[in-house]
Structure 1
Amino acid sequence: MPSVNFKVIWPDGDQATYYSPSTIVHEHLVAGGKYSQAEFDQRIHSALNAASERVYKKFGYYCTAASAELEKINRKLQFLREQEIVGEVRVTQLG
Protein backbone atom coordinates (compact mmCIF):
# COMPACT_ATOMS: atom_id res chain seq x y z
CA MET A 1 0.00 0.00 0.00
CA PRO A 2 1.63 3.28 -1.07
CA SER A 3 2.12 5.84 1.67
CA VAL A 4 2.09 9.62 1.41
CA ASN A 5 4.06 12.28 3.24
CA PHE A 6 2.54 15.72 3.37
CA LYS A 7 3.96 19.01 4.56
CA VAL A 8 2.03 21.81 6.22
CA ILE A 9 2.73 25.30 7.46
CA TRP A 10 0.80 26.09 10.61
CA PRO A 11 -0.63 29.54 11.39
CA ASP A 12 2.23 30.20 13.83
CA GLY A 13 4.80 29.61 11.08
CA ASP A 14 5.85 26.13 12.18
CA GLN A 15 6.41 23.68 9.35
CA ALA A 16 5.90 19.96 9.75
CA THR A 17 5.85 16.80 7.69
CA TYR A 18 3.26 14.12 8.44
CA TYR A 19 2.66 10.59 7.21
CA SER A 20 -0.38 8.81 5.83
CA PRO A 21 -0.25 5.05 5.24
CA SER A 22 -2.49 5.46 2.19
CA THR A 23 -2.93 7.70 -0.82
CA ILE A 24 -6.53 8.29 0.29
CA VAL A 25 -5.24 11.53 1.82
CA HIS A 26 -5.35 12.94 -1.75
CA GLU A 27 -9.15 12.77 -1.53
CA HIS A 28 -9.13 15.08 1.51
CA LEU A 29 -6.27 17.54 0.97
CA VAL A 30 -4.65 19.21 -2.02
CA ALA A 31 -1.12 20.54 -2.43
CA GLY A 32 -1.31 24.31 -2.21
CA GLY A 33 -4.58 24.08 -0.29
CA LYS A 34 -5.31 26.52 2.51
CA TYR A 35 -7.73 25.45 5.22
CA SER A 36 -9.10 27.01 8.37
CA GLN A 37 -7.92 25.15 11.44
CA ALA A 38 -11.40 23.66 11.93
CA GLU A 39 -11.61 22.51 8.31
CA PHE A 40 -8.10 21.05 8.39
CA ASP A 41 -8.97 19.24 11.62
CA GLN A 42 -12.06 17.69 10.02
CA ARG A 43 -10.30 16.81 6.75
CA ILE A 44 -7.21 15.28 8.32
CA HIS A 45 -9.22 13.20 10.77
CA SER A 46 -11.33 11.87 7.90
CA ALA A 47 -8.23 11.20 5.80
CA LEU A 48 -6.14 9.43 8.42
CA ASN A 49 -9.06 7.43 9.80
CA ALA A 50 -9.90 6.29 6.26
CA ALA A 51 -6.24 5.43 5.68
CA SER A 52 -6.14 3.37 8.85
CA GLU A 53 -9.34 1.61 7.78
CA ARG A 54 -7.72 0.70 4.46
CA VAL A 55 -4.79 -0.83 6.35
CA TYR A 56 -7.26 -2.79 8.48
CA LYS A 57 -9.08 -4.15 5.43
CA LYS A 58 -5.82 -5.25 3.84
CA PHE A 59 -3.86 -6.51 6.85
CA GLY A 60 -6.40 -7.06 9.63
CA TYR A 61 -5.12 -4.36 11.98
CA TYR A 62 -5.41 -0.58 12.20
CA CYS A 63 -2.42 1.60 11.44
CA THR A 64 -0.78 2.85 14.62
CA ALA A 65 1.31 5.32 12.60
CA ALA A 66 -1.87 7.05 11.39
CA SER A 67 -3.08 7.26 14.99
CA ALA A 68 0.26 8.68 16.08
CA GLU A 69 0.13 11.34 13.36
CA LEU A 70 -3.39 12.29 14.40
CA GLU A 71 -2.21 12.64 17.98
CA LYS A 72 0.62 14.98 16.91
CA ILE A 73 -1.81 17.05 14.83
CA ASN A 74 -4.33 17.16 17.69
CA ARG A 75 -1.62 18.44 20.05
CA LYS A 76 -0.64 21.16 17.58
CA LEU A 77 -4.25 22.24 17.05
CA GLN A 78 -4.76 22.34 20.83
CA PHE A 79 -1.63 24.44 21.27
CA LEU A 80 -2.88 26.92 18.66
CA ARG A 81 -6.26 27.16 20.42
CA GLU A 82 -4.63 27.67 23.81
CA GLN A 83 -2.36 30.39 22.42
CA GLU A 84 -5.32 31.93 20.57
CA ILE A 85 -3.43 31.69 17.28
CA VAL A 86 -5.86 31.71 14.39
CA GLY A 87 -5.11 31.37 10.72
CA GLU A 88 -4.91 29.04 7.80
CA VAL A 89 -3.14 25.71 7.65
CA ARG A 90 -1.33 25.50 4.32
CA VAL A 91 -0.54 22.18 2.68
CA THR A 92 2.70 22.85 0.83
CA GLN A 93 3.45 19.34 -0.40
CA LEU A 94 1.38 16.22 -0.85
CA GLY A 95 3.51 13.43 -2.24
Structure 2
Amino acid sequence: MPEMRFTIRWPDGTPESCYSPSLVIKDYFEPGQSYPLDDFLKRSREALGIASDRVKAKYGRPCSLALGQLQRIEAMSGRFTDTPQATVAVEAFDE
Protein backbone atom coordinates (compact mmCIF):
# COMPACT_ATOMS: atom_id res chain seq x y z
CA MET A 1 0.00 0.00 0.00
CA PRO A 2 1.63 3.30 -1.03
CA GLU A 3 2.03 5.69 1.85
CA MET A 4 2.80 9.36 1.72
CA ARG A 5 3.54 12.45 3.76
CA PHE A 6 2.07 15.86 3.14
CA THR A 7 3.25 19.15 4.54
CA ILE A 8 0.78 21.65 5.94
CA ARG A 9 1.12 25.08 7.51
CA TRP A 10 -1.16 26.03 10.39
CA PRO A 11 -2.73 29.51 10.68
CA ASP A 12 0.06 30.63 13.05
CA GLY A 13 2.72 29.67 10.47
CA THR A 14 3.77 26.42 12.12
CA PRO A 15 4.62 23.74 9.55
CA GLU A 16 3.73 20.10 10.13
CA SER A 17 4.58 16.94 8.22
CA CYS A 18 1.53 14.66 8.18
CA TYR A 19 1.24 10.94 7.39
CA SER A 20 -1.23 8.94 5.33
CA PRO A 21 -1.02 5.22 4.56
CA SER A 22 -2.73 5.89 1.23
CA LEU A 23 -2.48 8.30 -1.68
CA VAL A 24 -6.18 9.17 -1.19
CA ILE A 25 -4.97 12.47 0.30
CA LYS A 26 -4.37 13.61 -3.29
CA ASP A 27 -8.12 13.36 -3.92
CA TYR A 28 -8.87 15.78 -1.08
CA PHE A 29 -6.05 18.33 -1.12
CA GLU A 30 -3.94 20.19 -3.63
CA PRO A 31 -0.44 21.54 -2.90
CA GLY A 32 -0.36 25.31 -2.87
CA GLN A 33 -3.99 25.62 -1.75
CA SER A 34 -5.28 26.98 1.55
CA TYR A 35 -8.46 25.66 3.12
CA PRO A 36 -10.70 27.22 5.74
CA LEU A 37 -10.12 25.41 9.03
CA ASP A 38 -13.54 23.70 9.09
CA ASP A 39 -13.14 22.52 5.50
CA PHE A 40 -9.61 21.30 6.19
CA LEU A 41 -10.89 19.28 9.16
CA LYS A 42 -13.74 17.78 7.14
CA ARG A 43 -11.43 16.79 4.30
CA SER A 44 -8.85 15.37 6.74
CA ARG A 45 -11.47 13.26 8.50
CA GLU A 46 -12.76 11.86 5.23
CA ALA A 47 -9.37 11.23 3.63
CA LEU A 48 -7.66 9.71 6.66
CA GLY A 49 -10.79 7.69 7.44
CA ILE A 50 -10.73 6.21 3.94
CA ALA A 51 -6.99 5.58 4.22
CA SER A 52 -7.47 3.75 7.52
CA ASP A 53 -10.36 1.73 6.07
CA ARG A 54 -8.16 0.65 3.15
CA VAL A 55 -5.58 -0.65 5.61
CA LYS A 56 -8.34 -2.44 7.52
CA ALA A 57 -9.60 -4.08 4.32
CA LYS A 58 -6.11 -5.33 3.51
CA TYR A 59 -4.74 -6.20 6.97
CA GLY A 60 -7.85 -6.69 9.11
CA ARG A 61 -7.43 -3.68 11.38
CA PRO A 62 -7.58 0.11 11.04
CA CYS A 63 -4.38 2.08 10.59
CA SER A 64 -3.35 3.44 13.97
CA LEU A 65 -0.92 5.87 12.31
CA ALA A 66 -3.67 7.43 10.17
CA LEU A 67 -6.02 7.65 13.15
CA GLY A 68 -3.22 9.14 15.27
CA GLN A 69 -2.50 11.72 12.57
CA LEU A 70 -6.17 12.67 12.53
CA GLN A 71 -6.14 13.07 16.32
CA ARG A 72 -3.12 15.38 16.06
CA ILE A 73 -4.83 17.44 13.35
CA GLU A 74 -7.99 17.74 15.43
CA ALA A 75 -6.04 18.67 18.57
CA MET A 76 -3.95 21.30 16.77
CA SER A 77 -6.98 22.77 15.03
CA GLY A 78 -8.56 23.40 18.42
CA ARG A 79 -5.97 26.13 18.96
CA PHE A 80 -7.47 28.14 16.11
CA THR A 81 -11.23 27.77 16.53
CA ASP A 82 -11.45 31.34 17.87
CA THR A 83 -9.46 32.74 14.95
CA PRO A 84 -11.80 34.21 12.33
CA GLN A 85 -11.04 33.06 8.80
CA ALA A 86 -8.30 30.65 9.96
CA THR A 87 -6.90 28.69 7.04
CA VAL A 88 -4.57 25.73 6.72
CA ALA A 89 -2.22 25.63 3.74
CA VAL A 90 -1.29 22.36 2.08
CA GLU A 91 2.24 23.04 0.94
CA ALA A 92 3.49 19.80 -0.59
CA PHE A 93 3.05 16.10 -1.10
CA ASP A 94 6.18 14.23 -0.04
CA GLU A 95 5.88 10.76 -1.55
Q: TM-score, normalised by structure 2?
A: 0.93
| 1:41 matched residue in structure 2 | 41
Question: What letter is aligned with 1:85?
Answer: T
Give the distance between the partners of 1:35 and 1:72, measured in 2 at CA: 17
Answering whether residue 22 of structure 2 is matched by residue 12 of structure 1, we say no
Unaligned runs of 5+ in 1: none
CA RMSD in angstroms comes to 0.9
Unaligned runs of 5+ in 2: none
Give the distance between the partners of 2:33 and 2:50, measured in 1 at CA: 20
- The percentage of counterpart residues that share the same residue type is 31
How many pairs were matched up? 93
Give the distance between the partners of 2:50 and 2:13, measured in 1 at CA: 28
| SS of alignment partner, residue 68 of structure 1 | helix
Q: TM-score, normalised by structure 1?
A: 0.93
| 2:88 matched residue in structure 1 | 89
